[in-house]
């Protein structure tokens, strides 16, 4: 079944799209492309980089089983082709991603460990690819366009779902691969106790779950002293049921971009990488002259 705001492959996106990135306030022709690779589904869309919003409907395809690098790359290529996109592409991945290389694999095929995400997907789509951890992409999107927009200090973004994904943005700059869901608390990996999956698995009331979140977020406060905490993940739609129960010194708010954040953040990073590469090439050419 296709969720609202998504479409299955078939009808092509209307209108021309122009890859690239521009200054705030530029025309809405400034577009990028983001793909969100998950354990069960892969979603992609064209992104309006001025507004920080999807410029087309998402296309979602099931993650291949087995989810080997080659199979996932082919699925990403199918989605990108359906949108008629031929520019740089940003790809989120549910793992630690260091300089484009996947270092862990919790919910995908173990063959991904040590695989260059940017190279394998880039070869499949014949375009430059920027790979990024999924929580990092979502966190950056919230910082640029969502709940943490215009916050100049330290922002912690957490995604409460199967586990706990985290992103740290300091002065608008992403600190990648923080993996703070795996902090040890009271002898437990934090996400095994405080994730939304733990709430479901143990049939916890909102009050019971909130007490675990209180312990987790207070620990984050003591380590990072953030200016703002943003809570994402599907459960953020029900933020009124648990956020008011938390007693923190830091302002804590629900995410705004929801399940579009990963796509938007990936597209933004890919466009910025392309812009930097272009500037570097121009500088090299000027030096040669």
pLDDT in tens, 59-102: 999 999 999 999 999 999 999 999 999 999 999 999 999 999 99
Percent of the chain with pLDDT over 90: 81
- Whether 6-133+260-276 shares its CATH topology with 147-256 is answered yes
Domain boundaries, the chain: 6-133+260-276, 147-256
Structure tokens belonging to residue 229: 């905490």
CATH superfamily of 6-133+260-276: ATPase, nucleotide binding domain (3.30.420.40)
Torsion of CA 41, 46, 51, 57, to 10 degrees: -60
**CATH fold label, 147-256:** Nucleotidyltransferase; domain 5 (3.30.420)
- Determine the pLDDT at residue 78: 98
Pairwise pLDDT comparison (249 vs 7), residue with the higher score: 249
Region at 88 (left for phi over 0; alpha for psi -120 to 50; beta for the rest): beta
288 cis-preceded (ω within 30 degrees of 0): no
Please write the tens of the pLDDT for every residue from 200-210: 999 999 999 99
Place of tokens 């869309």: 45
Write the DSSP symbol of residue 99.
T
Beta partners for 33? Answer: 46
């Amino acid at each position: 079944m296709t969720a609202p705001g998504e479409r299955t492959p078939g009808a092509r996106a209307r209108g021309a799209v122009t890859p690239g990135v521009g200054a705030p306030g530029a025309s809405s022709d400034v577009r990028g492309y983001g793909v969100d690779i998950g354990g069960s589904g892969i979603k992609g869309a064209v992104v309006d980089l001025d507004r920080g919003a999807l410029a087309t409907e998402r296309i979602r395809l099931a993650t291949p089983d087995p989810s080997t690098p080659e199979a996932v790359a082919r699925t990403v290529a199918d989605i990108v082709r359906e949108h008629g996109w031929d520019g740089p592409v940003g790809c989120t991945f549910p793992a630690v991603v260091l300089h484009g290389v996947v270092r862990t694999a919790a919910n995908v095929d173990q063959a991904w460990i040590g695989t260059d995400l940017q190279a394998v997907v880039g070869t499949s789509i014949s375009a430059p690819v920027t790979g990024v951890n999924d929580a990092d992409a979502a966190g950056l999107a919230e910082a640029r366009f969502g709940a943490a927009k215009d916050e100049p200090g330290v922002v912690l973004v957490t995604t409460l779902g199967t586990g706990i994904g985290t992103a740290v943005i300091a002065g608008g700059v992403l600190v990648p691969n923080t993996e703070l869901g795996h902090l040890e608390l009271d002898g437990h990996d934090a996400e095994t106790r405080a994730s939304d999956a733990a709430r479901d698995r143990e049939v916890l009331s909102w009050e019971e779950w909130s007490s675990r979140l209180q312990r987790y977020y207070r620990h984050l406060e003591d380590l990072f002293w953030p200016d703002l905490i943003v809570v994402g993940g599907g459960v953020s739609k029900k933020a009124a049921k648990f956020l008011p129960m938390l007693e923190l010194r830091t302002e804590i708010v629900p995410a705004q971009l929801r399940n579009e954040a990963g796509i938007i953040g990936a597209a933004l990073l890919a466009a910025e990488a392309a812009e930097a590469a272009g500037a570097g090439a121009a500088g090299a050419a000027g030096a040669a002259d």
